[in-house]
Amino acid sequence: MHEPLIQLFRRQLQDRLPDLAGAEATATIPISDRLLTQAIAASLPPGAPVKEVQVRAEDGDRIGLKVSLARPSFLPAIPIALVVHEQPTLPDNPVLTLRISQSAPLVAMAERALRHAPLPAGVSIAGDLIHIHIQTLLAARNLEGVLSYLTRVNVHTHAGAVVLMVQARVAKP
């Protein structure tokens, strides 16, 4: 993109998009299993207890993970089933909650490893619930201003993709 245009967009963002006041947008954004798996791989720090996470979205707000631990290295990938438990409500509670929906000894081991792993900013685990704090995730990437434009974020799944359903609005002055 041409540098003067980039500067124009940056100024607009800094000023809260005054020349787009009243704009509204709705988007349905499917994110493939492959892209999610690559994004997780890119965010795993070297030496983390989790070596790899493969994502497989399923129909009905379900996500299957295969978690490979760094140690003990002889363990096969551990399957973990997640279900979307609670959607974010904006602006009051911008938290997506996933529930671990099965229990087995290997899953318990993976859960312990995940609890002690350095999780990305904005991700926490409490019992069988994984909380994804959208505001903290955005702030860690210097994108916290984005949340002020979002009026709705819902996460659903179908086979092969996690689907974000987003509504945004630029307030009128």
Cα distances from 2 to residues 8, 16, 62, in angstroms, run 10, 21, 42
Q: What is the pLDDT of residue 104?
A: 61
> Mean pLDDT highest for which of 39-48, 100-109, 161-170?
161-170
pLDDT reading at 114 higher than 80 = no
Cα separation, 34 vs 75, in Å, equals 23
Average pLDDT over residues 96-109: 76
pLDDT band at 34 (very low <50, low <70, confident <90, very high): very high
Residue 78 has pLDDT above 90, yes or no: no
pLDDT interval class at 173 (50, 70, 90): confident
Average pLDDT on 127-153 reads 90
**Tokens at residue 50, please?**
């989790």
Residue 116 has pLDDT above 80, yes or no: no
Report the candidate in 69, 64, 103, 66 with the shortest Cα–Cα distance to residue 82: 64
Phi/psi at 100 (nearest 5 deg)?
Answer: -75, 120
Position 2 scores a pLDDT of: 78
3-state helix, strand, coil in the chain (%, to 5): 30, 40, 30
